[in-house]
Structure 1
Amino acid sequence: MGAVAALILFAGVWGSWGTAQYVMLAKGREAGTVRVGSCAGGMCTGPFTPTSVGARARTRVELTESVAVRRGRTYDVVLKPGTSDAVRSGPAGILYAWLPLGGALLLASVVVAGGMRLTRVAWVLGLSGGGLLTAAFVAVQ
């Protein structure tokens, strides 16, 4: 059961890092804001206004459509290198990027409590995951 819990947590980190690396290691990346103009097919698009040195303005960048993205609003973003794909930045972007880890913490807490009978560890994992999910929900609103 310990190996299963570790695998769940590893999968949560792996799933989160794909996006979190762009937000957390933003130094040297193109940062700016995007005003969402339209959303269709799971993607929202809008013009990019740079705020970092070396970034250039773009007429259209893509931001993944989610409950956290609304048409007509402006969001702080970081562009993935060599693409027009944008990722939310700032505290809301960091918390949103780590959502898969929050879910993995909740799932691992059930495995640890039920399979390993380590209730205190399970409570720590569960409360950490719930706290991360709650903080992300509050931050992206």
Structure 2
Amino acid sequence: MPTKKRSRSRRAGESAYGALLLGRNILIGLVAVVLLVAGVWTSWDNAQHAMFPKDGNTGTMTVEACSDSRCSGPFVSESGGSAPSDVRINESATRDLGDTLAVSIKPGTDEVVRTGAGGILHSWIPFGGALALAAVVVGGGLRMKRTGWTLGISGIAVMVGAFVAL
């Protein structure tokens, strides 16, 4: 059976449509990448101190008072180095007043972050949220359903893990 050659305008229209689809997929992929990079960027500020304490600035903090989403209390250094005697921590990283938490000081501040598995998972919560958002973009926008489900389940696992570990 002989094939009929398509007209020049038909071929141009098909290639333009293909270019639009490619551009759409590239744009949606960039949105997903920006979401993930923003999640890592936001999480890394606390995660680096929770995972890799610098200069031995680790110790324990006893939660004494909480107000305006911050809790404060005395800090006891493990290394005996110079450290502020009173430190602050995000209220979401604590449980109750009187709790003693293993923490690491952010250099040059009086802020601390929790260490250990709970502290590490808590510091990566923004990245978990970014994974969940990127899952919707990848699964719906790029129509990569399995990859979207994997991203979403991973993000939810990080957030639930932090909730359980704290």
Three-state SS of the structure 2 residue aligned to 1:83 is coil
| Residues 8-87 of structure 1 aligned to structure 2 (within 5 Å) | 8-51=35-78, 53-56=79-82, 58-66=84-92, 68-87=94-113
Taking a change above 3 Å as real, the CA distance of residues 69 and 94 of structure 1, as seen in their structure-2 partners, is same
In structure 1, list runs of 5 or more residues that go unmatched: none
Matched, 1:120 2:154: no
More helix by share: 2
2:134 to 108, 121, 125: 108
Of structures 1 and 2, the one with the larger relative CO (CA 8 A, separation 6+) is 1
More strand by share: 1
Measured after TM superposition, the shift of residue 41 of structure 1 is: 2.2
Matched residue, 2:33: 6
TM-score, length of structure 2 as denominator length: 0.78
Taking a change above 3 Å as real, the CA distance of residues 22 and 57 of structure 1, as seen in their structure-2 partners, is closer
Three-state SS of the structure 2 residue aligned to 1:32 is strand
Taking a change above 3 Å as real, the CA distance of residues 83 and 67 of structure 1, as seen in their structure-2 partners, is closer
State how far apart, in whole Å, the 2-side matches of 1:91 and 1:21 are: 13
Measured after TM superposition, the shift of residue 42 of structure 1 is: 2.2
Contact 1:29 1:79 in 2 (8 A): no
Aligned Cα RMSD in Å?
1.5
- Matched residue pairs, number? 139
In structure 2, list runs of 5 or more residues that go unmatched: 1-27
Measured after TM superposition, the shift of residue 57 of structure 1 is: 6.0
CA deviation string 1:66-123 (max 9, x = no partner) = 2634211111100011221111111111000000000000000000011000011111
TM-score, length of structure 1 as denominator length: 0.92
Identity %: 46
